[in-house]
Each structure stands twice: as structure tokens, then as C-alpha cells.
Structure 1
Amino acid sequence: MASGGDSTQVGVGRVFIGAGCNRIFNNVSWGACDLVSFGAQNAVAIFCPKSAQILATLPGHKAYVNCTHWLPSNNFSFKAKHLERHYLLSGDVDGVIILWELSLVDKKWRSVLLVPEAHRKGVTCFSAILVSHSDAMFASTSSDGTVKVWELIFPSNSSGDCRLSCLDSITVGTKPMVALSLMEFPGNSHYLALAMGGLDNKIHIYSGERTGKFIHACELKGHTDWIRSLDFSLPLCTSGETSSLLLASSSQDKGIRIWKMVLRDSLGNKEMSSLASYIKGPIFSAGSASYQISLESLLIGHEDWVYSVEWQPPQNSSADGNECYQPLSILSASMDKTMMVWQPEKTTGVWMNVVTVGELSHSALGFYGGHWSPMGDSILANGYGGSFHHWKNIGTSFDDWKPQKVPSGHFKAVSDISWARGGEYLLSVSHDQTTRIFSPWCKEYFQEDGETWHEIARPQVHGHDINCVTLVRGKGNHRFVSGADEKVSRVFEAPLSFLKTLNHSSLQQSSFTEDVPANFQILGANMSALGLSQKPVYVQASPDSTEGNRTDGIDSLETIPEAVPMELREPPIEEQLAWHTLWPESHKLYGHGNELFSLCCDHEGKLVASSCKAQSAYVAEIWLWQVGTWKSVGRLHSHSLTVTQLEFSHDDNFLLAVSRDRHLSVFSIKHTGVDEIKHQLIVNQEAHKRIIWACSWNPYCYEFATGSRDKTVKIWQVEEESSVKLLTTLPMFKSSVTALSWLGVDRQRNHGLLAVGMENGLIELWSYSNTTNENRSIEVPNVAVFVRFDPFICHVSAVHRLRWKNGEKCGDSKSMQLASCGDDQCVRIFQVDVV
């Protein structure tokens, strides 16, 4: 709990985080703690596979996160039974490595170590080995052409510091290494084997002591394209002795190779013909032991680049957990949209593909990596679309792999959000060219306390980056208007399949269902081949018939008939979201001269205002559209550069606009007839010294706030509907102000909470109140910081939009919800509790 400005106690908690995975290999890691880490823009995100929820995002990186790796990883879960603290490595494109600590007791995270210039360029891969409960070694590789080996000493207590030392730096030349694997030599635990592969199509084996330098031992040739993944098995035991080690490698040549490293009897046993040496592979020494590597098997089955190969984690073979065995099972993931499990036949020993899972939808464009759960009963892939794909083996006597729920979200910057009128769901748009709907699913489905949020629909999959959105608040079907990097605004209406899904997701019936016409016949939508217009699919059309999804006069090239709109009774998986939850487009709004930038709807759902990117006064005009007929009913001129945000006052009498030209403007809006709007510019004045990014009205009166790149927030009042007066300026913030949202708390005292989002990702709440005397003159406003959000629950990059779930606090409720979106690919919902 934090202390508020009025001697109240304020609690701010995470309700939901939606984020997509950075589209790069080596980005995801499944730890022995049964949590999954991944990079989401500059943040390191953590999600729980069991609940399908993102638990935290870790701030610290200033650049795009390339790779993460748990200590201990799932390969060493048999050693992690009694560990109270787990660690996580993360690396970014600037060469920075950060070590994080997770305390399993209180579920708290902390950054324990930052190596600012571990590499001169981006870190691309980690591989680590847990030597003991207090000691680990890991290797990192980078596009700067070096591979570094590190020793990490863990603290003996929770308040201690980790000690990190670089043991060796290996220069690999102009063709960087992108895959690593580190393991103890079989029968010789004092020496480590380091396998690395990359752009020269070869696998390089290095050997070294735990405390010394690594030397090049041999090269393995065979792959004909870049090496993408390497993974050592646990040393294998034969006749009670550890004598061999297996290495799996995958490549862009679509093949997987298994190499066997065998401990030889002595260094003197080298007499063999050149042919035998060629077949059996190279021989090298590590300390006093000699090893030989040979190709064990070649696995062919994938039809595209194989980005990932991973051995099934070792499993305990004794009740006390001191002994374990290495299952002979390999998971591979490929850009051909499949993951495969490979195992040797019991009789012949020939490696075969025993399980194949994947995505068949048009939206899936391949997998960047595949990962085992610590128990080996689940597999997880991260895809090209920033999505996760999770399967679990629920069979007992035979394998039966079923898709599981996963967290989802945008994989590029989230530009705007909008709440449904009744707060049933949150709509977001992004530069990843998708529109997504997140909603709480009733607790009965999950049989646990509280609600869990999930993505339940993807109404728009577009061909341009989407910049702005607004939900139409009036009666009738759910509708929204979106604006993208094109000159057209597009109107979408909810189909029957979504309305039915929405009633399953929440115990409370949708506030819109009663307004839907009884003869409503649109079931869903189909996507055009160019990813622009979405055509309606009608109830009477047969979803199984290709012809049923087309209408007369539409060329078959313009629609893709595989979309089957569906009523969802449980949170959907990625394949359902990507293709079967589209909304039909009902109108296009033409008029603007450049890319759309800002949209807003009035509170009665009668008018929509829009603006576009502009470098001149003529292009910077604001257009008003009438909801329903979607006719243009006004063109407002005031600014000379892009209007960055628009917002109607809560009684819809005024429209506020702020702009890149550092000016604010207020227009009066009056409905003079059924189809007529009268508008008048009341004031246009310079308000800040830099670009104004955000604005928000006070729900109780004609007061509003503006936020700017000049790091200030100013409170203004409209006087006598003819001028604007500056009431107060908040103390200067540490970063540019990029988002504002005003919540009404107490109408009698004109008390409210102003949420302020900044370019550094942080969010603050400010308390605002004033009193009005009999002559209605305003006293000096009382403004104070109410609470500053914990950086570990905030964004790590610029906040683009803040939205309270309701404009006013509901009655005696002590709890409010605030939604935010930002440059870090995240959609977040916070719960603010005032005690």
C-alpha cells in the first residue's frame, strides 16, 4: 500500500498484462521454476503456463531484448528442488546483460546485476550450466563476433550480491555465432564442452576447465546452411559409467543432426585408418581424457528452416531426487509452422518423428523456437506473429497432445485503447496491424477466485499500422471506428458470434445485447487477400461450404473462405483468434488528406471526431461524422500541425483538441437538427512550449488538463463559454507527459484523480479538488501527488494512452480500474484501491 495525498491508503495492483513476444529466436526460456520468460520490446516478461497470465514485466533494458535464459533452466530442474531463489539472464541489442533474481517465497523480483557493455553489439544467445547451488557458468554470444564465458557466484543470503567474472572471450571472426550449448564432459566434470554454431555452417567444439581458458577442440561439418540451434544432452550412463554425450543441432538446411561424443580408453589409442577416422569423426583431448565425436543420426522431416532443437529435460529416477536420467526425446520447431518430437525406435534405434503439432491457419508464419516444460509433459512454441502456442500431453497410456491457453498480445507498439460502454471489455489497436479485444472470463470456467483476462477476439487484421480507435458509445450493436496509416477511417460492427461469446465470458449480460435487432443476420467476417476490407458472413451461409462464404459478384481472389465465425465458450487459442473472430466492416469514412492520427466519440454516441497527420493548416482540420449515417457534418479549422488528441466534454457541449503546434483549441458543439451540427471555435491559444501529446476533461465541470513534451501538466477552465483560463500547473515531471485520463471521485468537492503517463513508462495519480463559492468563482485548486506506481508494474517505454474504466467512481466503491497501453507492446489494466 502507498500513502495518498489525503492521508488515505492507496493500493495499486496488476489486473492484467497483454503482450506479444519479440519476433526473434532464442528469446524464450522455460525455467525450472515452471515460469516462462520472453522479451517484449525493452521489457523482460514473465508468464505462468498454468494460468496463462503474464505475471510481471521487468524494467531495466533501454533497448530491444534479444534473448533470455533461466538459471536453472528446465534442463537442471532436478537440481532445483530446494532452491528458494531462481535467476534469469537477459540480453539486448546494445550488448547489455542483466541478471534478475526471483524469490519463490514472496514472489518478488529484483535486478541484482547489470553488465552495461558485456558485448559491443547485440547479445544473441545464452547457454548455462548449474555447477552447484551457489555456482553457475554461462556463455553468451553476440553479433560483435565474440563468445564470452562467465562464472556466476550466487549470494548466500537474500540480501547478498552476486559476483560475476568473465573467464574467457573467444573471437570467432567475421561470421558470428548464433547458437551455444554448454555441458560437462562425460566422465570429467572438471572440464566443460562448449559447442557453438553460426553463419559459417560449422559446429565448433571448445574445451576448457571451469577456471581457465577455452581452446578450440574440433569442427563438425555436415550442415549446408546457418546453424540455428544446439543443445547438449545430460551425460549418458552405460554400464554404470558416464561415457557419452549427445549433441543435437538444427539448421536452415531444414535438417537436424545428432552427434555422439564418446570417452575413449586412453590418449594412446589413436591407431586407425584415415577412412575410419573420417567415418567416426574427429578426436580431441580435454585434460587427461580423450573423446571422439561422430554423427549418430540425421533427422529429415521439416519443410523449412529449423530454428530450434531441444532435449527433453532430465527426469528424477529415484525418490530422493539425487539421481536422474536423460530421456532420448528431442523437440524441434520450424518455420514450416510445426513442432516435432523425435525418439529412437526401441528395436532398431532409428530416430523417428512420433508427434507433430502446429498451426494450420493462414496467419501463422512459422515458429522461432520450441521448449519443453520441466516435467516434459508440455511443449511451447513462439511464433512469427508474436504469439505463443502451447500443447500438453494429457494421455496416460498413449500420447494425446491438446492445445492449451496462452497469454497473448500485440507484438509492436500499442497506439490506442478504448473501453466498451459498460466496461465489458477493452479494445486496443497497434502498429502490428491488428485490433484486439481483451475481456475478463468468469471464474466458473477456471474454478478459482476472481476473474482472469484473456484476448477473446481480433476484430480487425489490417494491411496498415493502426494508429487510433474509438468505440461508439450509443445504443445498438457494438461498433468501433479505427484509423490507420491510410486516409480512410473504417467502421466495424460486432457480429452475432462475438455477442454470444461475450455473454459466455462474463456472468453479467452484455449491455448491448438487448439493442441488437431481432433479425440481425451477420455471423462474422472474412478477410480479403490484401488485408483491407473485411466482408460479412451471414447466418444463412453454410460455414462448411466454400461457396457459402462468397457473395455474388465477389472474385474468389478477394476473399479467403477458410474463416469460420464461431461462438466461443472458453477463452480462444491463437488459431481461433487469428481467423475466426473478425468483425465485418460496415463503412469507410473518406475525407482526410493524410494518415489518420486521432479519433474520439462523444458520450451519447452521436458524433465521431477525427484528425490526421498534418504539416499545414488545411490538412490539420478536424472532421465530424454523424454516427449511423456516417455523413460528414463538420470540418473544424484551428491548428497548423497534427492534432494529437481529441476529447468531448462529458456533457458533449465542447470538443477539446491539442496539437503538435503547441496550441489547444476548444469548440462548442450544438445539435440544431436531426442531421445538423453547429460548431464554433471558442479559443485557440498557445498552451505549452513543446508538442502537446495529451488532454482530458474533468467529468464534473468545464475543466481540462493538457500534457506536453515540456514535462508539464496544466489545468485549464472554460470561462463563460468564450475563453480559457489557466488554473494551475503541476510540478515539472521527470519525463515528457504522453497520456492523461481524469476520473471523477466526488462531485460535491469537485474531487478527482488525474492519471499521468510519461515517456519513460511510469504512471502517477494526482489528486485534484477545489471549492466553489456562491458567486461561482473558483478558489485555488488543491493539487497533490496521490500515488506513484511501482516501476515493476509500469511500462518500460512511452505510455501512449490511459483510460479509466468509468468516467466517475461508482458509488461507494473503493476500487477503480485504469487501462494503459504503450510503446513496449503491452496493454495493462491496474486496480486502484482507496482505503
Structure 2
Amino acid sequence: MKEDVFEVRDTVFAVSLETVLAGHENWVYGVHWQPALYKCGELQQPLSLLSASMDKTMILWAPEEVSGVWVEQVRVGEVGGNTLGFYGCQMSPDGSMILAHAFHGALHLWCKDQDKEVRGEWRPGVVISGHFNAVQDLTWDPEGEFILSVGSDQTTRLFTPWRKQDGKLPTWHEISRPQIHGYDMQCLAMVGRFQFVSGADEKVLRVFQAPRNFVENFANISGSSREKLLTSSDSANLPEGASTPALGLSNKAVFQGKILAQLCSSDGSQILSDNQYSWNKPPPEDHLLQNTLWPEVQKLYGHGFEMFCLASDSTRTVVASACKASKAEHAAVLLWSTSSWCQLQTLQCHTLTVTQMAFSPDAQFLLAVSRDRTWSLWRRNLPTAESPEPQFSLHAHTGKDNAIHSRIIWSCDWSPDSKYFVTSSRDKKVIVWGPCRLENTGNSVLPPEIKPCSSVLDVGDAATAVAFCPLLCSAKSYLLAVGLECGRILLYQWSPDQEFMGGQDWIRCAETDTLQSHALAVKRLRWRPKAESETEEESSWVQLASASTDHTVKIFSINKLAL
């Protein structure tokens, strides 16, 4: 080939084409050299080149020892899925690991088996993963063993600690992607050990049930008892997995025997084999995309606009839902029965979007806050022969004449004893309200006056999330976490017995620093439920999960005795 000769600072260079590496079927977006490795003057590792392409593959190129011709040594990648390919790649210095990142922000790692020869097998490795757009909502499962989160990346993701058999400390990983949707996800609520309801930018609520394959893999990865989990989830009736038909939004249950291999059905959806996808470590990205879906068991229709918030009570019998609204007729809260999935009731009070809802821990009250700057409190009525299903009636609410908040109320939560509830707003105010205990006098129930029980706490920025800790602090004070629009999280102790004139009832305990804080607004705060088997030493530590517009979910461990 003809050489191209050029000169730079009195130095002459001659460049000629050595070879053309043809192997990819789409744009090549990334290349990375691995320098030749010498030891004691001898060549230990020849010069090699890694390339990543939009065809969802990476190729490792190296010259042959005899001829010196560059050839393909290793090709790794994925088949199927809904990713767009790889945008960049990197190789470890010793050449034992290769890493790629994809359009949706996911990392893809392959490791060379050290027990094999140089041209041995490459296997997928465990990587960190997460949302690639704003995280809108999250919740803990009732036992506090895993987290479910939804985001504007149109996915629902499940994270749990991976308890390694080598005795190392557990690390959190994504082990399932129950829902990959066609709309941005907005909210979710757990309605059982392995069942949840989710809402998106559509008018439909969807109910999902964990398949048998997930329950078994969750037991392997988390170290939980498989027999106990399968017993609690009624494994006899569970499907093996789920698939999504081409151009569809609903995950279909897949029932099959264990002898079947992975197949492709006539409509293009994927059928799973629980033998093939048995994991004792977090699955790689390609399996998360295709083989960890949960089947959809129900659709709930009733709202006129996009879903915005969800809540479920502690008994897991009632789900409340609300959608975006600019008129009172659309701002109603709908109640659903989790046993029949029938609509129980329509609660009308607000004039604009209900931004968040929360049931009291004793399941006797439902609290709703709204863009109209007010809150409403609904009381559960005693069941009767005519209406055995739960029914709620308006117990108290604020209006224009007695509303303290002057901007949108973004968040609300209940104290663990169900005596008080807290609201936080864009006006930078956090307020505790109560008392909310009912007093039975014969056949009547006297509702006490609901009024502010705390001084107005100014947190200095829009308060977008708030949550009561399920455990009391010392001196019978409550611990609250407040999330701000700037990304910081503040911890306060609030004492109802203290005189709240002048703000003496609030004590600022801690706050996240620059490295710990989110980069954008905190969307949701959730404390980990208290486990019944916790020892006294373990109960001094509590965990707080936060979701943010900055695409991240963070989990903080807090020693409440040190506050």
C-alpha cells in the first residue's frame, strides 16, 4: 500500500494501511487498545484491540503468532432484547475483563475464565445497574428484604442484597426487571409479599405477580429460605415466568415443564425455562431485559388521565389510586379491593391532582395531599351487612380559609403509632398534624379536631418528600426525614410534648453532605420496615431509601442512637 508521508517538528512519519478488520454489522462506536505486555524482556501478551458496535457485540482482535495477520479472537454480545447496541468499551490491563456501556446506560461485563486456555470461555460478570432516567417512586416489600422502584425510563426494577457465600459483606444489586413498559412509569404500591400495582403515563393500573422462577432465584441470591418463600407465595399456582408479545404492553404468564429449553413462540415472544435461568448471583443485563419479567394478572380501569400516585394499606386489602387532574371531577381518589380487584369507592374532595397518599399504619385512615394546597383525611367505617367491603368517609380536610401551606403539597406520611401525620410543600414548610385517634363512646365515634401539632418548620428549600421513621427515638420523640428539591436529605427529631412556640419542638439531627446528596430533586423517601426478628442491637440501626430525579436510588444506614 502507498505510504502517506508527513512531517511534524522536523520528524518524518510514514503511515500505511496494515489491515481492515471486518466483522461488525453496524456502526463501530468504540475501540480500545490493550498494550503489549512484556515480562523480563519476553512478550507475555501480544498487542490487541477491542471494538464495540451498535450490532450489540464486542470483538477482541489480535495478530496471529505465525502470520501476524489480525483476526477475530473473541466475540461477545447479546441476542434479542430492546437495547440499541454499545457506545463504548474498555479492557482491563491484563486483558481478563472487557466492559461495554449501552445506550440505556447499562454496563455489560465479560470475564475470561482463568481455568481455561488463552482462547478459553468468556462469561458475563456481575455489574452495578440502575435507572437511566428520573426515578419517580419506590417501595420496600413488607419484610424489608428488597426494593421496587419505577422511573421515567419505562421500567420497574427490583433490588436486593446479594449475600455471597464467601462471607463478604452483602452488596445491593438489581435481580429482576418485572416490567418493561411503553410509557413512563410514575408510581407503585406493594399489595403482598410478591405482588405489586404500578401506574404509568396511561389511564390503566396494572397488577403483577412474581413467577416461580423469581422466587427461587431470590432465595438463592438473598440467602432466604426457599421453602418458606415458596410456601408463602403459593408456588403450586405460579407460572414459570413471563413474556411480552411483539408490539404488546402486557406481560403474559408462561406455564411449562422443566424439560423444555428456551424457545421462541409463534408471536415472537420468548418462553423461559426455569432450569436454564437458575441464578445464585445477580443476573447480567441481557437476562434482566428478557428473562426476569413478572406476569401481569390484572388491569384496573377507571381513571380519565395519566396515573400519578398509589398507596396500599397495611392489611394489603385496599389500594388507593389517583391520576393527573385539572378539574375536581378527575381529582377523585379511587379505592380498589385487592381480593376481587373491583372498584370499591370514589372519594371526591380535591380540585387538582392528588400528589401523594398514605394509609395510617393501623389502616384506619387514608390521607391525601394535592396540588390545590390542601389535604383530606378519610376514615374507614365499620363493616356492615350491607357493605362488608371497606368504606371510607371524609373525616377532616383543609380549605382556602384554614390552609397553612401556600404552595403545592408534595408529600405526606404517618407516624408509626398512627397518632400524627406530616405534610411537606413547595413553600418550604413541614407541618405535623393531629391527633388522629378515634374515641369510641357507645355507638358513636367522635372525631377530634385535626390541627397543627408542631411549629411550622422552614427547611430552606422546596420540601418534595417526607417520611416518619417506623421506630421512635429516645425520649419518645419521632424521627423524620425530609427530602429537598436541591437533592439534600435532612433528619429532624420532633417531640410532641415540647412547647412548639418558636420551633423548640424541632431538633435538626443530621443532613447529607455534598457527596451523599442527590444531584436533583428527591422524589420519594421510604424507611425500611422493621423486621420482627431484629435484635436490640440491630434495631438501633435503621435504613432509609431515597429516589431522585437524578436517576439514582440511594440507601442510607442511620444509627438513631448516635443522633
TM-score (norm 2): 0.89
Could you say which residue in structure 2 is the equivalent of 1:485? 201
Could you say which residue in structure 2 is the equivalent of 1:399? 119
Could you say which residue in structure 2 is the equivalent of 1:817? 543
Stretch moving more, 589-598 or 528-537: 528-537
Could you say which residue in structure 2 is the equivalent of 1:370? 89
Give how far 1:529 is off.
1.6
Separation in 2, partners of 1:784, 1:586: 46
Task: Provide closer, same or farther for how the CA distance between residues 562 and 340 of structure 1 changes in structure 2, counting only shifts above 3 A.
Answer: farther
Larger radius of gyration: 1
The letter for the 1-side match of 2:353 is T
Could you say which residue in structure 2 is the equivalent of 1:743? 469
Give how far 1:659 is off.
0.8
Q: 2:237 aligns with which of 520, 544, 560?
A: 520
Conserved 8 A contact 2:526-2:544: yes
Task: Provide closer, same or farther for how the CA distance between residues 769 and 560 of structure 1 changes in structure 2, counting only shifts above 3 A.
Answer: same
Conserved 8 A contact 1:803-1:819: yes
Q: 2:78 aligns with which of 359, 368, 374?
A: 359
Q: 1:561 aligns with which of 250, 270, 276?
A: 270
Task: Provide closer, same or farther for how the CA distance between residues 607 and 381 of structure 1 changes in structure 2, counting only shifts above 3 A.
Answer: same
Q: 2:169 aligns with which of 450, 457, 482?
A: 450
Could you say which residue in structure 2 is the equivalent of 1:579? 290
Q: 2:484 aligns with which of 758, 761, 775?
A: 758
Task: Provide closer, same or farther for how the CA distance between residues 779 and 370 of structure 1 changes in structure 2, counting only shifts above 3 A.
Answer: closer
Separation in 1, partners of 2:222, 2:189: 22
Separation in 2, partners of 1:518, 1:801: 32
Give how far 1:663 is off.
0.8
Q: 1:608 aligns with which of 310, 315, 319?
A: 319
Separation in 2, partners of 1:286, 1:743: 67
Conserved 8 A contact 1:749-1:771: no
Could you say which residue in structure 1 is the equivalent of 2:389? 676
Any idea what the Cα deviations from partners look like across 1:680-714, whole Å, max 9, x if unmatched? 11222134111111111111232111111111211
Conserved 8 A contact 1:313-1:376: no
Q: 1:726 aligns with which of 452, 458, 461?
A: 452
Q: Report 1:646-685 matches (<5 A).
A: 646-673=357-384, 675-685=388-398
Residue 509 of structure 2 corresponds to residue 783 of structure 1: no
Conserved 8 A contact 2:383-2:391: yes
Task: Provide closer, same or farther for how the CA distance between residues 388 and 729 of structure 1 changes in structure 2, counting only shifts above 3 A.
Answer: same
Separation in 2, partners of 1:705, 1:518: 40
Any idea what the Cα deviations from partners look like across 1:796-825, whole Å, max 9, x if unmatched? 111111100026996632211111111111
Paired residue secondary structure (1:498): helix
Could you say which residue in structure 2 is the equivalent of 1:505? 221
Residue 312 of structure 2 corresponds to residue 593 of structure 1: no
Task: Provide closer, same or farther for how the CA distance between residues 398 and 642 of structure 1 changes in structure 2, counting only shifts above 3 A.
Answer: same
Conserved 8 A contact 2:373-2:407: yes
Paired residue secondary structure (1:519): helix
Paired residue secondary structure (2:431): strand
Could you say which residue in structure 2 is the equivalent of 1:463? 182
Could you say which residue in structure 2 is the equivalent of 1:433? 154
Separation in 2, partners of 1:562, 1:701: 46
Paired residue secondary structure (1:298): coil
RMSD: 2.7
Conserved 8 A contact 2:144-2:530: no
Paired residue secondary structure (1:665): strand
Q: Report 1:106-505 matches (<5 A).
A: 279-281=2-4, 283-313=5-35, 315=37, 317-318=39-40, 327-395=46-114, 397-400=117-120, 401-444=122-165, 447-473=166-192, 478-505=194-221
Could you say which residue in structure 2 is the equivalent of 1:702? 419
Give how far 1:500 is off.
1.1
Could you say which residue in structure 1 is the equivalent of 2:439? none
Paired residue secondary structure (1:522): coil
Task: Provide closer, same or farther for how the CA distance between residues 284 and 671 of structure 1 changes in structure 2, counting only shifts above 3 A.
Answer: farther
Any idea what the Cα deviations from partners look like across 1:413-457, whole Å, max 9, x if unmatched? 11111101111111111111111111112232xx14321111111
Could you say which residue in structure 2 is the equivalent of 1:645? 356
Q: Which has the higher strand share?
A: 1
Give how far 1:771 is off.
3.3
Separation in 2, partners of 1:364, 1:339: 14
Conserved 8 A contact 2:157-2:178: yes
Task: Provide closer, same or farther for how the CA distance between residues 808 and 699 of structure 1 changes in structure 2, counting only shifts above 3 A.
Answer: farther
Paired residue secondary structure (2:492): strand
Task: Provide closer, same or farther for how the CA distance between residues 284 and 326 of structure 1 changes in structure 2, counting only shifts above 3 A.
Answer: farther
Conserved 8 A contact 1:821-1:827: yes
**Gaps spanning 5+ residues in structure 2: where?**
437-445
Give how far 1:394 is off.
2.2
Could you say which residue in structure 2 is the equivalent of 1:794? 517
Conserved 8 A contact 1:796-1:824: yes
In the alignment of these two chains, the number of paired residues is 538
Select the structure with the greater relative contact order (CA < 8 A; seq sep ≥ 6).
1
Separation in 2, partners of 1:778, 1:630: 47
Separation in 2, partners of 1:647, 1:731: 21
Paired residue secondary structure (2:550): coil
Separation in 2, partners of 1:584, 1:571: 20
Separation in 1, partners of 2:80, 2:357: 38
Task: Provide closer, same or farther for how the CA distance between residues 764 and 778 of structure 1 changes in structure 2, counting only shifts above 3 A.
Answer: closer
The letter for the 1-side match of 2:231 is E
The letter for the 1-side match of 2:106 is S
Separation in 2, partners of 1:562, 1:516: 22
Conserved 8 A contact 1:391-1:404: yes
Separation in 2, partners of 1:814, 1:828: 20
Conserved 8 A contact 1:653-1:669: yes
Separation in 1, partners of 2:524, 2:148: 12
Conserved 8 A contact 1:727-1:780: no
Give how far 1:376 is off.
2.3
Give how far 1:728 is off.
2.2
Separation in 2, partners of 1:712, 1:390: 46
Could you say which residue in structure 2 is the equivalent of 1:767? 493
The letter for the 2-side match of 1:726 is P
Paired residue secondary structure (2:59): strand
Could you say which residue in structure 1 is the equivalent of 2:407? 690
Paired residue secondary structure (2:79): coil
TM-score (norm 1): 0.61
Separation in 1, partners of 2:313, 2:501: 27
Conserved 8 A contact 1:470-1:599: yes
Conserved 8 A contact 1:739-1:802: yes
Give how far 1:291 is off.
1.6
Task: Provide closer, same or farther for how the CA distance between residues 654 and 390 of structure 1 changes in structure 2, counting only shifts above 3 A.
Answer: same
Separation in 1, partners of 2:330, 2:504: 37
**Gaps spanning 5+ residues in structure 1: where?**
1-275, 550-555
Task: Provide closer, same or farther for how the CA distance between residues 622 and 383 of structure 1 changes in structure 2, counting only shifts above 3 A.
Answer: same
Separation in 1, partners of 2:497, 2:38: 69
Give how far 1:305 is off.
0.4
